[in-house]
Amino acid sequence: MGRTRHFSSLLLVVALSPIFFQTTYSCERGNASLAVLEYHADGQDRIHGFSTDNLEYDVFNTSPSVTVTTGALDPASIVSYQWVVDGAPGDTTGVGAGGGSAEMTLPAGEVSLRVTVRAPEGAFRSYMVHVDPPCASVADCEDGNACTDGLCDFVTSQCSFGNVTNFSTCDFSAPGDGFCQDGLCEGSFCGSDPIDCSAPAGSCVSGGTCVVACDPADIQNPPCTGPAGNERCDGFGASLPAGDDCTEGGGNVCNGSGACVTCLLSENVRRCLVDGGVLGDVCTINTDCPVTGSGGGICLLVNDDCDITPVDCQVPSRCHGGSACTGRTQAPVGAPCSNGQCDSSGVCQPTP
C-alpha cells in the first residue's frame, strides 16, 4: 500500500528562497572581502574612510592618471580592476592573488571603477568607485577630506573643491608607535609628522607623553582638549635619579635635578664644573667658577670616597651629582667575574 506524502508549504518557500539556494547549493564559499582599497590621484588617496563592508565610494579628481591599490583579506583571492564608462564595462585588468597596485588612465565620460575579488572557494565581491559623480547639493560633494571644502555647481552638476586654511587641524588616525601624531592640513592633504616624545639618549630626564591638543602652534604646553588624532608632546617628564648614567655635555652621571654632570673622584675638595665639563679650579661657591659671557659656573664637592676600581662580585660605588657616593654592593648571582660567575655569597666561582 502506498503511503501518502505531505509536503509542507513552509518548506517549499524556504527551498525556493534565494538565501536557501545561495547557502545550500551555491559553490560560493570563502572570504572575498578587501582589507585595503586606495585610489591615488595627484599623490593623494581619494578614498577617505574605507570600510571592508562598504561596497561603494565617491571620489573626486581631475588627474588623467591614477594608481589603484588593493589588499584582499584572503591572500589567495584573485583581484581584478575594470572601468565602467557610461554604463558599459571595459577591459579587465588583473592584478593577481591578494591584490596589488596598478597604474591606470582615467577614461572620458561618466566613469566608475569596479574592483572584483574572487575567493578560491568561489565567493566573489565587487567594490564600486564612482569618479566625479554628478551633484545636486553641497552634501553630494562631501569627500570625507577635512582639508577641503566641496561646492556644487548647479549649472553643470559638478563638484569643485577648495583647500581649507593651511595648518588647520585634521584627524590623522594612524597609530603612533610611541610617537605623537600631529594632524595638520597642508593644501588638500592631512599631513602627519610624528613627534618623538622620548627623552634624548643619554639625558637625565624621562620622556614626555602624548596629549590631545587644540592649539596647532603650541607643542609643549597644550592646556586644552581637541579633536582626536591631533596628539602632541607635552615636553619632557621627571628628572632621572641621581647616579644614573648620562652622556650630555661631557658629563657621565645624573645629579637628580635633570642635569648630567661629571663624577669627580680625585680629592675631597670643591672644584669648578661648567656645563658638565671640568675646569678644575678649587672653589668655594659657584661664583668662584667664571664662565665667559655669562654668570658663574658650578662648584661641586669632589668626593674621594667613590671607588670605581673593579672588584670581583662587587658593584662599584657611584657618585651622585658629584658629591655623595653610594657604597659598594654585592653583584647579583650569576654575574660574570674574572674566571667564572658570582655566587650568592659574593664569591667568584670558577666555571666548571
Distance of CA 7 to the CA centre of its chain: 61
Residue 275: what pLDDT? 53
Judge contact between 95 and 79, C-beta under 8 A: yes
Residue 117: what pLDDT? 94
Nearest-angstrom CA–CA distance, 289 and 273: 7
**Average pLDDT, whole number, for the chain?**
75
Residue 136 has pLDDT above 70, yes or no: yes
Range 121-143 average pLDDT? 89
pTM exceeds cut of 0.85:
no
**Residues 166-194: pLDDT tens digits?**
877 776 654 444 567 767 787 877 777 67
Domain layout of the chain by residue ranges: 34-131, 134-163, 166-238, 241-352
Counting Cβ atoms within 10 Å, is residue 344 exposed (0-12), middle (13-18) or buried (19+)? exposed
Range 57-64 average pLDDT? 83
Nearest-angstrom CA–CA distance, 253 and 321: 7
Element (H, E) at 299: strand 298-302
Distance set, CA 240 to CA 11, 113, 322 (Å): 75, 57, 15
Instruction: Look at 9-13, 87-91, 329-333 and tell me which has the smallest mean pLDDT.
Output: 9-13
Cell readout for 229 is 588624532
Q: How confident is the model at residue 14 (pLDDT cuts 50, 70, 90)?
A: very low
Q: How confident is the model at residue 218 (pLDDT cuts 50, 70, 90)?
A: very low
Out of 28-37, 71-80, 163-172, 215-224, give the one with best mean pLDDT. Answer: 71-80
Nearest to 301 by CA among 275, 266, 327: 266
DSSP 218-281: -SS---S---TT-EEE----PBPPTT-B--STT--EE-SSS-EE----S-SEEEEEETTEEEEE
Q: How confident is the model at residue 285 (pLDDT cuts 50, 70, 90)?
A: confident
Range 27-31 average pLDDT? 74
Out of 37-51, 93-107, 113-127, give the one with best mean pLDDT. Answer: 113-127
Q: Which CATH class is domain 34-131?
A: mainly beta
Residue 348: what pLDDT? 93
Residue 230: what pLDDT? 58
Residue 184: what pLDDT? 76
